[in-house]
Amino acid sequence: DGGITQSPKYLFRKEGQNVTLSCEQNLNHDAMYWYRQDPGQGLRLIYYSQIVNDFQKGDIAEGYSVSREKKESFPLTVTSAQKNPTAFYLCASSISGSRSYNEQFFGPGTRLTVL
Amino acid sequence: QQPVQSPQAVILREGEDAVINCSSSKALYSVHWYRQKHGEAPVFLMILLKGGEQKGHDKISASFNEKKQQSSLYLTASQLSYSGTYFCGTEIGNNFNKFYFGSGTKLNVKP
């Protein structure tokens, strides 16, 4: 079955630590995205990638980093510079990032809590 | 930059209708609609493009008024399965990195 997987489902981090959230897709999609969702809020774009080896900052990229070395994978690192990282993180993909006519498919999410 | 959704929450009985609105202060190129059930990932419902093109769900309809920079999602004869939080996502200009989601409308359909 094609889809997007995210791991882990729950992640606990101590202050000052970097953590990496995994996102893998087998849909053969070119574009991938990372969103952050806070309780009762909408989704805010952190980073997106339209093609392998290329990615762009979204609205709230500070304190986060990404890589896109393979088409299937788009890991997100939450660094210690992110002041308030506790949130629900969603990864998504779409066939192409260059056209807005393509719906996004979302993974199940990772819930990150800073202790 | 974030679109404004209204209402924030709706409670319906099965079979009743609902309208969810999404408006922006900026000119829109497209509007996406998604539904998210508690603790789950958002699921695609509709895309409406400037110029009238649409793509999406058979049983849910939506409109896009480009001049007013607004979109509305119409849920008719609601079913229990319609419960969840509905998000609109708007693209400002033909440039995906200016893509913003609204804060959501929580819909609760009761028997």
DSSP calls for A39-95 = TT--EEEEEEEEETTEEEE-TT-TTEEE--SBTTB--EEE-TT-S---EEEEEEEES
- Which token pair is A115? 């202790």
pLDDT computed for residue A1 by the predictor = 66
Q: By the 8 A CB rule, do B107 and B38 touch?
A: no
Tell me the range of A43-52, B51-60, B85-94 where mean pLDDT is highest: A43-52
Statement: residue A77 has pLDDT above 60: yes
Per-residue pLDDT for A109 more than 80?
A: yes
Q: Average pLDDT for residues B23-45, to the nearest whole number?
A: 89
Tokens at A4, concatenated: 């997007």
Q: Looking at the predicted structure, is the pLDDT value of residue B97 above 60?
A: no
Cβ-Cβ pairs closer than 8 A, A with B, add up to 64
Q: Which residues contact B96 (CB under 8 A, 6 or more apart)?
A: A48, A50, A97, A98, A100
CB contact under 8 A, B100 and A45: yes
Tokens at residue A63, please?
Answer: 């304190």
Instruction: Give me the pLDDT at residue B95, please.
Output: 62
pLDDT for the residue A83: 86
B29 neighbourhood in chain A, CB within 8 Å:
100
Q: Rounded CA gap, A84 and A66, in Å?
A: 18
State pLDDT tens for residues A19-45: 999 999 999 999 999 999 998 788 999
* Closest residue to B41, CB basis, from A40, A50, A106: A106
Q: DSSP code of B26?
A: S
Q: How far apart are CA A114 and CA B25, in angstroms?
A: 35
Hey, how many other C-beta atoms are within 10 angstroms of the C-beta on B2?
15
Q: Which pLDDT does position B66 carry in this prediction?
A: 85
Nearest to B19 by CA among B38, B39, B33: B33
- Do residue A108 and residue B1 have CB atoms under 8 angstroms apart? no
DSSP assignment letter at B81:
G
Specify which residues A51 forms β-bridges with.
A54
Query: Would you say residue B96 has pLDDT above 70?
Result: no
At B52, list the tokens.
Answer: 């009238």
pLDDT value, residue B111? 94
**Residue B41: which of A50, A100, A108 has the nearest Cβ?**
A108
Backbone angles phi, psi at B80, to 5 degrees: -55, -35
Gap between the Cα atoms of B46 and B48, Å rounded: 7
Residue A98: pLDDT band (50, 70, 90) is low
Which one-letter amino acid corresponds to residue A98? S
